[in-house]
Amino acid sequence: MASPEPSRSVFARANRAGERVQRYWQQVTEGANLEQLWKQFRADARQSYALYSREVDWESFQSKGRIRRFLSATWAVFHSMLMKLSPARRVLLLIAMILLIYPLPAMLFTDEVAAESGLLKMFVLGAALLFVLLALELADRVTMKRDLEIAREIQHWLIPEKPPSVTNADIAFATRPANTVSGDYYDVLPWPQTAGAHTQDRWLMVVADVAGKSIPAALLMATFQASLHTLIGASEGLPDLLAGLNGYACAHSQGGRRFTTAFFAAYEPASRRFSFINAGHNAAMLMRANGNFETLNSNGLPLGISPLIQTVAPTEGAYHQVDLQLHPGDTVVIFTDGLVEAVNAQGTEYGDDRLLSMLRWAPSLTAASLLERLFADVNAFVGETHQQDDITCVVFRAL
């Protein structure tokens, strides 16, 4: 009778091989299932197509027939992709595509083995060149990704991880960059004020959005944070602070092209006095404890647009402070435009109306719970659509 040992040995080796394949698959997919991978691929494909098709003049193809329109659009998208490579890599890609496409008709429809053998070599060479190009682009991406990860870590140092403890206030904030790094900024800082011989408690809240995205916006965000921390100690009030920030921003805005919208608020816990200046930013939402809503609209230009001079007397374009009296239960929601301009697969924006509808259902929630529900509602609205802009939100509730 044959020994069962060889069969057991083969089974054990196959089992170990299967475990190695499974571990490697888990490493490649980072634990994602097929549905999650497909959703991620579709989101990446939409984002890439939007990038390459952005420069295509689609109206020029409308007068052509269906086949010519398809071929012209395909070439236009390919050309857009080609021109984003370096000149040497453009040539490499063109050669690879020629070597891949030219042999296909003959390989598919000819019976000549000798010719097919030579054409097959061309096809393999084209595939090899395409793989070399992929390796070169991947090396650049890995290098850039490492630099972006370092930049993201630095950004995390510049913004607070958790809200401070403020008397008569409940505060929560969160941000979600569209890319690895963000052009949004938020902070809650102690800002004591001196009244006569006494020093009173006061806090500064800031939400800012630098024009643009990714690295350029992130660099300007860092300079904004540095100038804010430098000027806050020398500024008595919001108008003085914004005048100083605007002067610095104008000196580095490239003629107004790199401006920053911002919402500044000063809160005095003892009296619950809430003062703000909205420098071209989205209108913050004030939800009173009785359910009524007020919008805290813009009352000044974005920082970096015009070198305004703040004076005691009202002047055109100067930053003027608005004072409000808050009561226990009043809630202020401050956000960047990435929240209300988030779009779903149909191209519909989240919008101010949907935000107001969501806030009406949450009058008794804590600041953290309200913020969590708001982000969940945005996620449910956009679905698989790729996030186009940074989203930042600060929820402030008077106690």
Q: Does the pTM of the predicted model rise above 0.75?
A: no
For the stretch 311-368, pLDDT in tens is 433 444 478 899 999 999 999 999 999 899 888 888 889 998 899 888 887 667 899 9
| Under-70 pLDDT residues of the chain | 1-8, 106-116, 195-198, 253-257, 308-317, 362-363
388 within a domain of the structure (yes/no) = yes
Same domain, 127 and 170: no
Last residue within a domain, chosen from 158, 181, 200: 158
pLDDT for 363 equals 67
* CATH number of domain containing 232: 3.60.40.10
One domain, residues 46 and 70:
no
Q: Is the CB of residue 287 less than 8 Å from the CB of residue 330?
A: yes
Residue type, position 105, single letter = P
DSSP per-residue string spanning 175-206: EE-SSSS-SEEEEEEE--EEETTEEE--EEEE
Contact between residue 9 and residue 16 where contact means Cβ atoms under 8 Å apart: no
Verify that 147 and 44 share a domain, yes or no.
no
Same domain, 20 and 35: yes
Residues 370 and 244 in one domain: yes
Q: Which of 263, 265, 293 is nearest to 280 (CA)?
A: 263
The pLDDT score that the predictor gives to residue 173 is 93
43 inside domain? yes
C-alpha distances (whole Å) from 49 to each of 67, 78, 213 are: 20, 10, 19
Q: Is 183 exposed, middle or buried (0-12, 13-18, 19+ CB in 10 A)?
A: buried
In a domain, 370, yes or no: yes
In a domain, 131, yes or no: yes
SS (H, E, C) 25-62: HHHHHCCCCHHHHHHHHHHHHHHHHHHHHCCCCHHHHC
Number of domains the chain contains: 4
* Same domain, yes or no: 285 and 371: yes
Q: Are residues 290 and 390 in the same domain?
A: yes
CB contact at 8 A, 178 and 338: yes
Q: Which domain holds residue 37?
A: 6-52
pLDDT at 198: 63
Find where tokens 């804590």 sit: 366
96 shares its domain with 11: no
- Alpha helices of the chain — where are they, by DSSP H? 5-29, 34-53, 66-82, 87-101, 104-109, 113-158, 214-231, 238-251, 337-340, 351-360, 367-382
For residue 46, give Cα distances in angstroms to 79, 350, 387: 18, 19, 11
In a domain, 1, yes or no: no
Q: Are residues 240 and 106 in the same domain?
A: no
Condensed to tens digits (0 to 9), the pLDDT of residues 97-137 reads 888 888 777 666 665 554 557 777 888 888 899 999 988 88
* Judgement on whether residues 231 and 333 belong to the same structural domain of the protein: yes
**C-alpha torsion angle, residues 323, 340, 392, 151 (rounded to 10):** -140
Predicted confidence at residue 110, as pLDDT, reads 65
245: in domain = yes
Q: Based on the domain organization, do 362 and 294 belong to the same domain?
A: yes
Which of 124, 158, 192 lies at the terminal end of a domain, its last residue?
A: 158
Which tokens belong to 310? 């703040």
Residues 227 and 259 in one domain: yes
CA dist 181 and 149 (Å) reads 8
Contacts of 16 (CB under 8 A, 6+ apart): none
